[in-house]
């Protein structure tokens, strides 16, 4: 854009009235960035930020981070030798109450590991049916877990 004397005077006037750079650009038929660049080159006074940080309109000061200090690592020490605690002479074996201990089905590479129920509840378990070869799920749960792309497109239509 060629900035004529008249365009520069119009820019100075709109700037002094407090219009935003976008509004000045709309009125003059130029981009906001052209207005910002020319205002900078003309050394026009800086504008307050349009972002309102508080209800009073004052900017909230940003916290300044303290400079980082490096701390030397403490010297390495030899670990203390391990000692076995002495077992009490007449201590009876402690068994937890029956309500706390519950059998949990073993999950192996050949059993389905599809979760059933809410984890953390007594009803939670895994399917434990025979898994498909090279899959972690049984046939029924593999059909839910592995959906073909073609099938998804047909469902969406």
Whether 82 is in a domain gets the answer no
Q: Which of 134, 133, 141 shows the shortest CA–CA distance to 113?
A: 141
Q: pLDDT for 78-127, tens place per residue?
A: 766 777 766 666 666 666 555 444 455 555 668 888 888 888 888 888 88
Report the domain count for the chain. 2
In a domain, 68, yes or no: no
SS3 category, 5: helix
Residue 138 to residue 116: CA distance in whole angstroms: 13
- Is the pLDDT at 71 greater than 90, yes or no? no
Rg for the chain, CA atoms, rounded? 37
pTM for the full predicted model: 0.34
DSSP secondary structure letters along 7-49 = HHHHHHHHHHHT--HHHHHHHHTS-HHHHHHHHHHTTPPPPPP
At residue 101, the pLDDT reads 46
Domain carrying residue 15: 5-41
Residue 57 placed within a domain: no
Contact 78, 88 (CB under 8 A): no
Query: What is the predicted pLDDT for the residue at 26?
Result: 94
Q: Poorest-confidence range of 25-29, 77-81, 120-124, 152-156? A: 152-156
- Averaged pLDDT score across all residues of the chain: 76
Q: Is residue 85 part of a domain?
A: no
State how far the Cα of 104 lies from the Cα of 116, in Å rounded to an integer.
Answer: 13
d(CA 55, CA 98): 61
140 found inside a domain: yes
User: Residue 9 domain-assigned?
Assistant: yes
Establish if 61 belongs to a structural domain. no
């Amino acid at each position: 854009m060629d900035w004529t004397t008249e365009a520069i005077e119009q820019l100075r006037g709109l700037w002094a009235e407090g219009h935003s750079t976008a509004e000045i650009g709309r009125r003059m038929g130029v981009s906001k960035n052209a207005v910002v660049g020319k205002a900078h080159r003309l050394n026009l006074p800086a504008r307050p930020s349009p972002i309102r940080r508080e209800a009073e309109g004052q900017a909230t000061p940003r916290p300044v981070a303290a400079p980082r200090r490096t701390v030397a690592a403490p010297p390495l020490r030899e670990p203390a030798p391990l000692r076995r605690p002495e077992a009490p002479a007449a201590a009876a074996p402690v068994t937890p109450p029956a309500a706390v201990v519950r059998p949990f089905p073993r999950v192996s590479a050949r059993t389905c590991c599809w979760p059933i129920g809410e984890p953390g509840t007594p009803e939670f378990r895994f399917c434990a049916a025979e898994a498909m070869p090279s899959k972690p799920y049984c046939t029924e749960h593999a059909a839910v877990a592995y959906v073909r792309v073609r099938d998804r497109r047909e469902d969406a239509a």
